[in-house]
Amino acid sequence: MGQTARPRVFSGIQPTSGVTLGNYIGAIKNWVDFQGQKDNLFCLVDLHAITIKQDPAELRARTRELMAMLLACGLDPARSIVFLQSHVRAHTEAAWLLNCVTPIGWLQKMTQFKDKSVKQESVLTGLLTYPVLMAADILIYKANEVPVGEDQKQHVELTRNIAERFNGLFGELFVIPEPVIPKLGARIMGLDDPSTKMSKSSAHKPGHAIFLSDSADTILRAFKRAVTDSGGEIRFSDDPLKAGVNNLLTIYATITGKDRVNVEADFIGARGYGDLKLRVAETVIEALRPIRERYEALIKEPANLDANMRRGAEAAAAISEPIVRQMKEMMGLTPAQPSLSV
């Protein structure tokens, strides 16, 4: 009693391919830091994954692997609700309801839709309405904060617009959520091309992304080959020509928790970019080693992972189902009466 309510946090990650260093620095690391301070929900968004064609057996395997990896990174089911989106039907139900208050023009303007749809032979309807499902994810928990990387900011802003529109049409129900974007590391770039975001898409070559499950050897090789520039100055910079070095320093800073000044100080006297790459690689390898070890142990116990997912889903449904019921009533849908027998 007398406690002030803790802000509620909601975020999600897709169970496609592995988890990249970009996912870790831009999102997961911050989720872990939120634990203990906030009321957290973290969702494996398998319904978002199927907006792009997936192999069913692969998707199922990747989902369990992602659960293991999130726990290995430090998400703790005792302090956060960690669950699978498709286990809680309130998400799909709310998404439909919100589809019916979202103008199609808002969706056609989304950068991610435009980027992804040009890469597809056949663009699925789900890819267009993807941000509506994401809005549903966030709104049915009345989340205050949504910690994501830079690429998801536009979707959270759309979520705010959808919430305001619903509240305006039917009455105050939804909390207007805030995107929480890290100051450093919100957009980790590809090591092979520092002008593109590090992404888990299989369209990229080896050496583009670091995956949290990569061996020390693979990580070292990728960093050694990282694209830099023809200069020699080791400092943070907005200059697109220095994007490679800036990216390496950003990775080093976020992993060590050091600020820019201390990071640059660490490299005074370094022997060129070769030295920089080696030290960043070593820092990443050491940080990921315990995560990989925990992952190896967790993935061997699928029953434990499944039980954690089920418990998470029960806790999530207990929060979101009453809110979806309220949405339906406010929109004029008729609730089923307690007894249908005459």
Is residue 62 close enough to count as binding ligand AMP by CB under 6 A? no
Which tokens hold the place of 180?
């929480």
Q: Which of 116, 142, 153, 328 is catalytic?
A: 116
| Pairwise CA distance, residues 138 & 175, whole Å | 9
User: How would you class 108 by CB atoms within 10 Å of its CB: exposed for 0-12, middle for 13-18, buried for 19 or more?
Assistant: exposed
| Pairwise CA distance, residues 84 & 306, whole Å | 10
Pick what 138 binds: ligand TRP, ligand AMP, none; C-beta below 5 to 8 Å, kind-dependent: ligand TRP
At residue 35, φ and ψ (nearest 5 deg) are -65, 140
CB 49 within 8 A of CB 59: yes
Among 9, 10, 22, 179, binds ligand AMP (CB under 6 A): 22
Is residue 80 close enough to count as binding ligand TRP by CB under 6 A? no
CB of 120 to ligand TRP, least distance (A): 16
Question: From the centroid of its chain, how far is CA 248?
Answer: 21
| Pairwise CA distance, residues 182 & 241, whole Å | 23
Confirm whether 197 is a catalytic residue: yes
Other C-beta atoms closer than 10 Å to the C-beta of 174 total 23
- In single-letter form, the type of residue at position 321 comes to E
CB 107 within 8 A of CB 99: no
Confirm whether 29 is a catalytic residue: no
Nearer to ligand AMP, 127 or 188 (CB): 188
Q: Which of 29, 53, 114, 200 is catalytic?
A: 200
CB of 157 to ligand TRP, least distance (A): 12
Among 149, 179, 244, 312, binds ligand AMP (CB under 6 A): 149
| Pairwise CA distance, residues 192 & 340, whole Å | 63
Which tokens hold the place of 13?
């990650």
Strands (E) in the chain, as ranges, are: 8-13, 39-44, 80-84, 145-147, 178-180
CB of 13 to ligand TRP, least distance (A): 6
Strands (E) in 31-109, as ranges, are: 39-44, 80-84
Is residue 138 close enough to count as binding ligand TRP by CB under 6 A? yes
DSSP state of 332: T
Nearer to ligand AMP, 51 or 152 (CB): 152
151 closest CA partner among 193, 172, 128, 182? 182
Q: In this chain, which stretch among 155-163, 185-193, 226-234, 250-258 interacts with ligand AMP, using CB under 6 A?
A: 185-193
| Pairwise CA distance, residues 18 & 66, whole Å | 7
Q: In this chain, which stretch among 33-41, 158-166, 194-202, 284-292 interacts with ligand AMP, using CB under 6 A?
A: 194-202
Q: What mask of x and - would describe binding to ligand AMP in positions 296 to 335, judged by CB under 6 A?
A: ----------------------------------------
Pick what 10 binds: ligand TRP, ligand AMP, none; C-beta below 5 to 8 Å, kind-dependent: ligand TRP
| Pairwise CA distance, residues 219 & 21, whole Å | 11
Is residue 48 close enough to count as binding ligand TRP by CB under 6 A? yes
Confirm whether 242 is a catalytic residue: no
Nearer to ligand AMP, 198 or 219 (CB): 198
Is residue 13 close enough to count as binding ligand AMP by CB under 6 A? yes
CB of 135 to ligand TRP, least distance (A): 8
Is residue 186 close enough to count as binding ligand AMP by CB under 6 A? yes
Residues carrying an active site annotation: 116, 197, 200
Which parts of this chain interact with ligand TRP (CB under 6 A)?
10-14, 45, 48, 134, 137-138, 146, 148, 152, 155
